[in-house]
Amino acid sequence: MNAIHYPLREAYSLTKDSIKDQLKADLVNGLTGEEVADRRQAFGENIIAQKKKKNPILIFLMQFASPMVYMLIVAAVLSFFFKEWLDGIAILVVIVINAVIGFLMEYQAERSMDALKRMTQVSAKVIRENNLVEIPAAEIVPGDILFLEAGDIIPADSRIFNSSQFQADESALTGESMPVEKRDDMVPGGTPLAERLNMVYKGTFVTGGNAKAIVTGTGMNSELGSIALMVQDADQTVTPLEKKLEDFSRTLIKITVGLVVVIFLAGILYGDAVIKMLETSIALAVAAIPEGLPIVATLALAQGMLNMARHNVIVKKLEAVETLGGTNVICTDKTGTLTQNKIEVSTVVTSEGRLEFKPNPAAQEISFLVGKPISESDGFKIIKKISVLCNTAKLALKNNLLEELGDPLETGLLKFAYSGGVDIESFRAKFPKIREEPFSSETRVMSTLHESDGRYFLAAKGAAEELLGRCTFTRDNGKLIALDETTKKNWITNAEICAASGLRIIAAAYREADEAISNLKGDLVFAGLIGMLDPPREEVFAAVRECKSAGIRVVMITGDHPATARNIALKLGILDSENDLVINGKEMNDFEDLSLKEKQHWSASKIFARVSPKQKLDLVSLLQEDKFVVGMTGDGVNDAPALKKADIGIAMGLRGTQVAQEVADMVLKDDSFSSIVLAIKQGRIIYENIRKFVVFLLSCNISELLIIAGSSILNLHFGLFPLQILYINIVTDVLPALALGVTKGSDSIMNQLPRDSNEAIIDRKRWKSISVYSLVITLCTLGAVLFTHIFEHKSETWNPELCNNILFITLILCQLWHVFNMSTENNKAFFKTDVFRNKYVWYATVICLAITLGAYLIPPVTKALSLYSPSLQDFAIMFAFSLLSLFINQVLKRLKVIF
């Protein structure tokens, strides 16, 4: 490895031969496996060092950074000052227990997010041992040979040595918004980064053409790595959900502080000790405010995101989960998302006639259904020739299996030609490519120029109406004739007829010459039409129906022919009638020039065909202007602006470009539309679960407030001690809330309309429910005390110790059973609701009951909490009144008094 000169700081000023020699690289065959292993060991992985993770000790210490914890510490210090040793120690123990719980939740959330990051790794195409392979970008080493094409994220700093109309967007490094044309030219030393036209840089992306480049800088030795060193300490911004939780907690603190002041003053007026009231007030404040709520919410989101990942949906941003629940329009691509993306050529139309067939690559044969007599015609052979040459995909036979690499449409063309007896590699070797005009969404045509034995062959394919505009001749019985307007219209009619039957249509053209062809865009000979089938995914039918029931409108946006789009949309149920409006991109004005009527047509249409990238962006803008929450799918470089603009950008994981995946909020690993619906459903469930445990925590904590406030203001002879309040907080808050966070959700959640994205976590309806829940728990808890005093012990004087214990245990039981009130499935029997069927709720309940029982079995805890063993009759009363609170709340839910 000492012979390798690395890193190459000014590779742009060196010749490619010099770079090749210094890095000991092979521009044709690439590196060997042994060389790669040696270089990875010497130079490390091609990764940017991440911001240093929080030390677990620091995470633990941060749990104490809370105003409420500060107040508890003050209470402990005051307890020690007045020689209340047990109270002081117990308060400190509670503080530590709360910190441990918070630490475990935050640490688990970080680990969950790390797991998500591992699922979103970028890949790259490299040449190794004379094979083009796709590998994780982290495995790239200096001297690797990259193959780059439109849509790729550039994985490492590299020097170009072969390119075709190659352009890159370097705005991430230079701030220059326009793509830069790259080529293999010498650049003098000292040239600014933005002007190094022979270099590409890690983290930028390819916007057009293709190129081969030799890797000169990886990981922290790249330009991006240099910048990363400057931003390692950047703070992470809070998500919208975290902001809502913060606003909510701030409001709750104000309410709580007001109540605590009232309780404190009432206690002083009744002659209670100041230290006792101070401790009670502080402990009550901690009990009333769910300090761990943001952490529990983050953990619920992270766990939900991991669950989505197991179902082929990678959500990259926490805030996207919140937005998913409010999505009411999905703008989706057709190919590969609504359809199987298993494209195969089934029809060819030439001047000799129409052929219908089924290719069989495994047997290397074609089964003709219509038109077999003309299968050996020159026109059919030319179509096969164009299919192989005007194509950047790869198809190779390895271990008796066909390996495909490239766009599904192009691999479909190769499989068609291969089935027809064409040896792909040897045919391409006979006609080597010397120039190329890549396909773009603007031209919608691809052209390649080839040379063989001194003659030149230009192959072209693309949209029929666009390619016909470049043609001046056509074939007729083997002869070339001028292509007039009437013949062009006949071909377009043919294309529309084929498209109306559900075929995806592209046209093919060519040109032959004895001299090099300089113009790849004109004077072509029209060869015919190629029809391809891409059947709908079977699971999409049900997914579209589910969207309709959930109030979500599905809009198909495709580059295909309008007739093809309409046919697929009708089959899938996106369109209800053949008369439904389908908008053609050619009919769409710029967003700024749209009339009110045109905006209404756009907003009402479910199908947009032949659209450009700008039109996609305009459509998203229009829908957002109409207050829709828009999810947009995409796979190409040209989709990136619309993906970024949409409320939820959804990139394809199988066929999506790295640029699309980078800007998107979520990635579909299987490219399936049904996965989008699953993600929306899961997003709704996660958000609903967060609401459930917020309602649960608040109603439990407010019931404590009401009990203590009532005892203090009415000067009752019984109440709860500060340590008991803190103990209740530990027992009933954390585990049940976490269990609610993983509830599977209501079966009817996709029958509900999307929620308003501006809606508060706790709306007026839920505040009403919280108030009623809290009041019922409070009355049943106090009722248990009164019933025991009046009917069980029939004492004329109050027994404060007994009353306190009855109050303490009954309140814990009421709050534990209260978790079963959190189901939103009020139309189901109690035993069949989502919460009742949640096994984690039962685990949490059993553990919490065990912790409560443990208070009686551990003498120091028993003494600290001032507990004694009640009689069996007392336990029966506590148990009965706690179940009564559950029964009353269930009745009120069934009567729809509360939610």
Please list the active-site residues: 333
Cβ atoms 558, 499 nearer than 8 A = no
742 vs 302: CA distance, rounded Å: 11
Residue 38: burial class (beta carbons within 10 Å; 0-12, 13-18, 19+): middle
Three-class SS of residue 896?
Answer: coil
Amino acid at 35: E
Residue by residue, DSSP assigns 772-828 as: HHHHHHHHHHHHHHHHIIIIIS--SS--HHHHHHHHHHHHHHHHHHHGGGG---TTS
Cβ atoms 770, 761 nearer than 8 A = no
Tokens 């009120």, residue located:
892
763 vs 248: CA distance, rounded Å: 11
Q: Please report, for the chain, how many H helices and E strands are present, in that order.
A: 29, 27
392 vs 390: CA distance, rounded Å: 7
Dihedral of CA atoms 416, 417, 423, 426 in degrees, nearest 10, equals -130
Cβ atoms 33, 144 nearer than 8 A = no
314 vs 393: CA distance, rounded Å: 27
Tokens 């057009």, residue located:
208
437 vs 459: CA distance, rounded Å: 10
Q: What are phi and psi of 661, to 5 degrees?
A: -65, -30
Pairing type for strands 123-128 and 131-136 reads antiparallel
Q: Which residues of 615-652 are buried (b: 16+ CB within 10 A; e: fewer)?
A: bbbbbbebbeeeebbbbbbbbbbbbbbbbbbbbbbbbb
608 vs 602: CA distance, rounded Å: 9
For CA atoms 210, 213, 219, 224, the dihedral sign is negative
Quick one: which of 441, 459, 339, 485 has its CA closest to 390?
459
- 332, containing H or E segment: strand 329-332
Contacts 24+ apart (CB under 8 A), 229-238: 232/49, 232/51, 232/52, 233/51, 234/51
Separation in Å, CA 609 to CA 332, 399, 468, 586: 12, 41, 19, 9
Q: What are phi and psi of 593, to 5 degrees?
A: -100, 5
Omega before 7 within 30 of 0, i.e. cis: yes
Q: Where are the beta strands (DSSP E) in 138-263?
A: 145-149, 157-169, 180-181, 199-200, 205-217
Cβ atoms 249, 289 nearer than 8 A = yes
805 vs 660: CA distance, rounded Å: 61
265 vs 255: CA distance, rounded Å: 16
Q: How far is CA 169 from the centre of its chain?
A: 24
Bridge partner residues of 353 (DSSP): 350
Cβ atoms 623, 615 nearer than 8 A = no
Cβ atoms 619, 639 nearer than 8 A = no
Question: In the Cβ-directed half-sphere of 279, how many Cα atoms lie within 13 Å?
Answer: 25
Quick one: which of 788, 767, 690 has its CA closest to 322?
690
121 vs 76: CA distance, rounded Å: 49
Q: Record the tokens describing residue 302, joined without a space.
A: 């992270």
